[in-house]
Structure 1
Amino acid sequence: MDRYQAMATFVRVVETGSFSAAARHLNVGQPAVSKTVAQLESRLQVSLLIRSTHQLTPTEAGQSFYERARIAIQAADEAELAAKGAGAGLSGRLRVSAATTFARLHVIPRLPQFLAAHPHLDVDILLDDRLIDLVAEGVDISLRLGVLSDSAAVARKIVTGGRSVLATPAYLARAGLPQSPADLANHEAIVYSQLPSAWSFTRNGAAVSVSVTGRLRVSAAEGLRAAVLADMGVTIASDWMFAPELANGTVVRVLKTWSLPSIDLWAVFPAGHMMTTKARQFATFVEGIMRSAD
């Protein structure tokens, strides 16, 4: 039994969740995949998978083996890329975690360029506004916005963007145009629960903090966008979040002479794992997207 091939097969089974899906990805028959995993379990003398009617789940030993096997496969892929040279392109599978709205607006529409440049690469994108365990989810690179809370994370700042007070012209026509941060106390604020409800502004060295209230709080950026576009109130958000609407005038900035804290976009890599060439090149690709947009 080829140890590398057996590890690669097992990793693909875990990532796809079934023998049949792994067989399709590997372009082999399902019996061959099942036989390879059985031989691997026999050689290791341990059960790696819990088999049920609907799914395959790694055992504790299987999960541990999967994580180490995946690192070993990444290391082998890196060695091949180094030997072949950068012109050979990327191959294998890249798992990316990203905030839903940011990825939908800025990353996924540009993915055809990245995939065309690397025809032997598959990309999995996990869309989630919450912070996830990169190691447990098998993520190669996570695109995160804001302040990093994990001091042990391996991270690279991609770009810094602006924040603004935003609303639709229809809402402002109904509620009036705020002339100062203090005026926001009299407006219906749409509060993003991942940010403080006290909004801080600066101008000419002076700082002002305003506590805002509103009938609506949302926990995800998609909800914030929907509420603003439904003319429900004002909000603070990154300009990236409303880039299409700011461009066409559906949403406008208010209090433009006041500044808000900027927001950083980070590429975060799983701590304790090798940063792969695939992950580094994807980070560079995203950086190119965002600098071009700016």
Structure 2
Amino acid sequence: MKVSDLKLFIKVVELGSFTAAANALDLPRANVSRRINDLESTLRTPLFHRTTRSLSLTNQGESYYLDLLKAVEMIDSANQALIHNADTIKGKVKLGLVSETHDILQPILFSFLDRYPDVELDVRVISNGFIDMHNQGLDISFHGGELIDSDLVARKLIQLDRCLVTSQSYIDKFGQPSCVEELTNHHAICLRWPTGEVDKRWHFEHTSITVNSKLVSNSVAFLKSATISGRGIAFLPKILVADEIADGRLVQILSQSSVIEEHGYILYNQPKTLNLATKTLIDYLLEEVPKNY
């Protein structure tokens, strides 16, 4: 009985399906199914109830899973102690980044790889950290905005407070609002969330405004480019438009209007299921990202 097969069993339980576990571990689904069947044959005990639509643990499977978590954690702790003594961290980390954040995070990831050259990073572009975490079998993903109910760990990483921006060409043509209430008289450029909902309700500390928009996109990069081109006013995280504000391509307006505090988070599975490389990267990101931004 291999430890890797026991860890595979744990992964199937946590992700709820053979397919999700196969995605997480970059394995063929048939390989996962065969290895679980072999494990059940070795134990002479069915671990799962299988139907065409669902997968659930048997009573014996649930007891085995709980005991196995403790055993595997002890094995990993012993292995990690040796690895730490050898001052070597190895392993693969599957990381999900929202496309617009790669400029912010790329230098930090490169610095991590320089420090730990035996770590392999597999970086994926995602749209929703909570959904893509399981769909793409990620070890770590990033999420901005409100959290949803999930068994994932969410750690606050960076402040994502938004600001109102437009171009000088737009101001020259249409003027600029003197208060947030006047935003309803202007052309708004709005984000479409991964849920499909259009972000037309802009929230400030003391009020919320429903804006009018004829230009919507699920890409922050597209919204930013459209705003620079003079198509309207956008409400974007300041960290993503700081360079454009600094070089004059965008103009921040109504800066005196306080916005509701928003944050970016790092998401990951329960620590006991993570390899040492993933745990090390999580700690590195939590330490380095706030330093730089």
Fold shared per TM-score above 0.5:
yes
Q: Which amino acid aligns with 2:233?
A: V
- Aligned: 1:112 with 2:106: no
Q: Which amino acid aligns with 2:204?
A: F
Q: Which amino acid aligns with 1:187?
A: H
Q: Which residue of 2 aligns with 1:126?
A: 124
Q: Would the alpha carbon gap of residues 221 and 271 (structure 1) be closer, same or farther in structure 2, given more than 3 Å must change? A: farther
Q: Distance in 1 between matches of 2:280 and 2:22?
A: 22
Shift of 1:42: 10
Q: Is the 8 A contact 2:23 2:137 kept in 1?
A: no
Q: How does 1:159-198 map to 2 (within 5 A)?
A: 159-194=158-193, 196-198=199-201
Q: Which residue of 2 aligns with 1:247?
A: 246
Q: Distance in 1 between matches of 2:275 and 2:36?
A: 28
Matched residue SS, 2:133: coil
- Aligned: 1:215 with 2:214: yes
Contiguous gaps of at least 5 residues in structure 2? 8-20, 42-52, 58-64
Q: Would the alpha carbon gap of residues 183 and 283 (structure 1) be closer, same or farther in structure 2, given more than 3 Å must change? A: same
Shift of 1:164: 0.5
Q: Which residue of 2 aligns with 1:92?
A: 91
- Aligned: 1:269 with 2:272: no
Shift of 1:169: 2.2
Q: State the TM-score, normalized to the length of structure 2.
A: 0.70
- Counting aligned pairs with the same residue, the percent is 21
Shift of 1:118: 0.7
Q: Distance in 1 between matches of 2:141 and 2:250?
A: 29
Per-residue Cα deviation, 1:217-275 (whole angstroms, up to 9, x for no partner): 11232322232232211111111222322332322211011111122111111259624
Q: Which amino acid aligns with 2:201?
A: A
Q: Is the 8 A contact 2:144 2:265 kept in 1?
A: yes
Q: Would the alpha carbon gap of residues 179 and 41 (structure 1) be closer, same or farther in structure 2, given more than 3 Å must change? A: closer
Q: Is the 8 A contact 1:98 1:142 kept in 2?
A: yes
Q: Distance in 2 between matches of 1:224 and 1:234?
A: 9
Q: State the TM-score, normalized to the length of structure 1.
A: 0.70
Per-residue Cα deviation, 1:157-182 (whole angstroms, up to 9, x for no partner): 12323210111222222221221102
Shift of 1:95: 0.9
Q: Would the alpha carbon gap of residues 143 and 79 (structure 1) be closer, same or farther in structure 2, given more than 3 Å must change? A: farther
Q: Distance in 1 between matches of 2:267 and 2:247?
A: 32
Q: Which residue of 1 aligns with 2:146?
A: 147
Q: Distance in 2 between matches of 1:161 and 1:136?
A: 25
Q: Which amino acid aligns with 2:243?
A: P
Shift of 1:94: 0.5
Q: Which residue of 2 aligns with 1:280?
A: 279
Per-residue Cα deviation, 1:36-85 (whole angstroms, up to 9, x for no partner): 99x97996699xxxxxxxxxxxxx9xxx9xxx9xx999985554222332
Question: Aligned-pair RMSD on alpha carbons?
Answer: 4.0
Q: Is the 8 A contact 1:158 1:267 kept in 2?
A: yes
Deviates more, 1:190-199 or 1:234-243: 190-199
Q: Is the 8 A contact 1:115 1:121 kept in 2?
A: yes
Q: Is the 8 A contact 1:74 1:276 kept in 2?
A: no
Matched residue SS, 1:268: strand
Q: Would the alpha carbon gap of residues 278 and 92 (structure 1) be closer, same or farther in structure 2, given more than 3 Å must change? A: closer
Matched residue SS, 1:150: coil
Q: Which residue of 2 aligns with 1:23?
A: none
Q: Is the 8 A contact 2:151 2:269 kept in 1?
A: no
Q: Which amino acid aligns with 2:118?
A: H
How many equivalent residue pairs? Answer: 257
